[in-house]
Structure 1
Amino acid sequence: MKAKFSGHDTFPLRYGWLFKATKHLSMGGSFQTSNEDKTREAIVELGVGKNMVNAIRYWAESSSIFDTSVKANIVTHSVSEEAKLIFGDNTNEGLDPYLENAASIWLIHFWLNFNIESLTAYRYFFNYSNVQYFEKATFLDICITDTQQLTSSESPNDKTIKKDIDCFLNTYSKKAVKAGASAKTNEDSFASPLVELGLIQELGGGYFSSPLDLRADLPINIFIYSVLRFSEMELAHSGASSMDFDTLLTKPYSPGRIFRLSEKGLGQKLDEAQRRTNGDISWVDSLGLRQVQVKSALQGQATTFIEEHYRA
């Protein structure tokens, strides 16, 4: 992997940004921020400053909302097919462009972290870190050490990683309520849609918690989609049709890792997935050997479960 701990200009992902990005691109706009004319055009169309244009581009690329290609050192973008389903384009309205359905936020979370090409603070946390209760300063030290082992490129300086961790925590964590403070919710509490998932809780004093859980509010169709995406990657070279339960629970980029599922939570989700797919996804626990099977009939069908969720 390459290290990528910058690009967002410290701006957490905000509501409306991904829809704005897809709409701007679908209408013929560009995110070639090295081109002054294109940048000025984006500033006007998106209604934000230059730094936010850079941040919108970063989050759109990182969440795979944009497909990116490079030719003659010129970066061009197109809206990915899966992003078109949710946010639409110039011909389709999209299933949930304003993120009114929680399933869309779970999807964005999965897209952000299901990436084996570059390492960020949030990808490190959701795919490699085993902490459930942590102090930010200690997490920074661990992240710096592990980045040196996980990345092929030269590691960024400590200050850059610290800024990325700050941005990651501001993107995901619910703020601690100070003793005696008003329970009133302000705009900053929901600046990022990913806060709604409740995956990380700020405890105060630089401490955070992120327990493994059942994730009852994770829609089953989004879970099935993630299992199919992961199984396509995991089983592609082996030709097998099954994998260990523990692989689905703890291996980097697995649904268990990305969604912070407990062992019981993954078992419950697989039971529900088995019922929903009429056994095309199934799992058995025999003599302590737990295997998850994904039938070939589901190959290439991941996005149909996204559509099914919204059209049910």
Structure 2
Amino acid sequence: MKAKFTGHDTFPLRYGWLFKAINHLNSNGKFSSSDEENIRHSIVELGVGKNMVKAIQYWAESSNIIKNERENGSYSHVISDNGVYLFGNGLDESGKDPYLELAGSIWLLHFWLNFNRDQLTAYRYFFNYANVQHFEKSKLVDDCYEDAKRLVKNEIGNSSTIKKDIDCFLNTYSKKLNTGTSKKSTKVDEDHFTSPLSELNLIQENGGGFYISNLSERPELPVEVFTFALLEFFKIETEESNVSTIDFDSLLTKPCSPGRIFRLSESGLGQKLDEIQEFTNKEVSWVDSLGLRQVNVSNTAKNNTINYLNNYYGKYNV
């Protein structure tokens, strides 16, 4: 795993940015940090400044909706399968939810953003490695800095670099409340309400640099998205073996697991597994008996992962 605590120029993910990134590539635009003509074209087409162009590219890459591919000796960005699925390719395939109108799409993006064992960022550190529910920002910076030394193989920069990344992460995921003594002075700070990921309510600012991110049951998390995430995790956990089971604790606590990424409590994971068992007609089932807690995944479920996700969008005729 490599450290990647820069690239967004401290801009949190904003509404419309991912659609802009896909639309830019669909219109034969290019993301480039060195070709001045392409940079100027991106600034005009995306309608933002140079630094925001870099931030849009960063978030699109990090959420795995675009990727950098080598072709004819040079690298260029293309839309990934994830990007085509959600946003479309501008040609013969329309996206499931290009304007992110459905809550399930935000949960899906959150999963894609954090389901990554190759690059460590502040948000991937928090959702996959941190073991806190109430924390002070300064302590999270220190913990991330120390743990990153152990987790990554390249230079991680200094603590101020990580602090900027954590600031960006918290502004992306949390809603900042400005509270006063009267009702009139209590409002949501608009500068911290620009990211779709804040809708998930996974992190709440408590004032004074303190934050809350409880593990809970997440009834608002669609079972279809949870099923997709569980099966994606199951694939990478069992890719070198031919097993059909995975233990409950792995789903709850391992990096990139649905329990970790969705901040599920132990009882919350159990409830989601009950839901998934009914939803998949026991193609994914689990047992909790005599100290044994494990999940069984059939070949049908393993080979048809995307179909479960399609069921979510099929309900909304999109």
TM-score (normalised: structure 2): 0.95
> Match for 2:305: what amino acid?
A
- 1:78 is aligned to 78
- 1:278 is aligned to 281
The answer to whether structure 1 residue 307 and structure 2 residue 318 are counterparts is: no
| Deviation sequence 1:125-170 (CA, Å, 0-9, x none) | 0000000000011111111100000001122111111100000000
- Deviation for aligned residue 1:28: 0.9
- Matched-pair contact (CA < 8 Å) for 1:230–1:254: yes
RMSD: 1.4
Q: 2-side partners of 1:306 and 1:20: how far apart? A: 24
Q: 2-side partners of 1:57 and 1:46: how far apart? A: 11
- 2:206 is aligned to 203
SS in structure 1 of the partner of residue 67 of structure 2: strand
| Deviation sequence 1:31-79 (CA, Å, 0-9, x none) | 1221111111111110001000000000000000112224688431111
| Gap change, CA 1:131 and 1:147, over 3 Å in 2 | same
- Matched-pair contact (CA < 8 Å) for 2:180–2:186: no
SS in structure 1 of the partner of residue 269 of structure 2: helix
Q: 2-side partners of 1:119 and 1:246: how far apart? A: 23
| Deviation sequence 1:277-297 (CA, Å, 0-9, x none) | 000111101211101111111
Q: 2-side partners of 1:255 and 1:95: how far apart? A: 22
| Gap change, CA 1:204 and 1:235, over 3 Å in 2 | same
- 2:6 is aligned to 6
Q: 2-side partners of 1:89 and 1:213: how far apart? A: 36
Is there any run of 5+ residues in structure 2 with no aligned partner, and where? none
SS in structure 2 of the partner of residue 237 of structure 1: coil
- 1:191 is aligned to 194
- 1:57 is aligned to 57
Q: 2-side partners of 1:176 and 1:292: how far apart? A: 40
| Gap change, CA 1:209 and 1:37, over 3 Å in 2 | same
- 1:160 is aligned to 161
- Deviation for aligned residue 1:189: 4.1
- 2:114 is aligned to 113
SS in structure 1 of the partner of residue 255 of structure 2: coil
- Deviation for aligned residue 1:300: 3.3
- 1:151 is aligned to 152
- Deviation for aligned residue 1:299: 2.1
Q: Give the ranges of 4+ consecutive aligned residues of structure 1 lying more than 4 Å apart after TM superposition.
A: none
- Deviation for aligned residue 1:228: 0.7
- Matched-pair contact (CA < 8 Å) for 1:225–1:303: yes
Q: 2-side partners of 1:61 and 1:74: how far apart? A: 18
Q: 1-side partners of 2:7 and 2:285: how far apart? A: 41
| Deviation sequence 1:98-123 (CA, Å, 0-9, x none) | 11101110011000000000000000
- Matched-pair contact (CA < 8 Å) for 2:252–2:260: yes
Alignment of 1:3-152 (within 5 A): 3-70=3-70, 74-91=74-91, 92-152=93-153
Q: 2-side partners of 1:34 and 1:300: how far apart? A: 41
- Matched-pair contact (CA < 8 Å) for 1:32–1:75: no
- Matched-pair contact (CA < 8 Å) for 1:17–1:56: yes
- Matched-pair contact (CA < 8 Å) for 1:245–1:292: yes
Is there any run of 5+ residues in structure 1 with no aligned partner, and where? none
SS in structure 2 of the partner of residue 299 of structure 1: helix
- 2:296 is aligned to 293
- 1:269 is aligned to 272
SS in structure 1 of the partner of residue 256 of structure 2: coil
- Deviation for aligned residue 1:83: 1.7
- 1:254 is aligned to 257
Deviates more, 1:34-43 or 1:293-302: 293-302
Q: 2-side partners of 1:179 and 1:73: how far apart? A: 58
Q: 1-side partners of 2:188 and 2:286: how far apart? A: 43
| Gap change, CA 1:104 and 1:13, over 3 Å in 2 | same
- Deviation for aligned residue 1:194: 0.4
> Match for 1:53: what amino acid?
V
Number of paired residues?
A: 312
SS in structure 2 of the partner of residue 239 of structure 1: coil
Q: 2-side partners of 1:146 and 1:216: how far apart? A: 32
Percent identity, please: 57
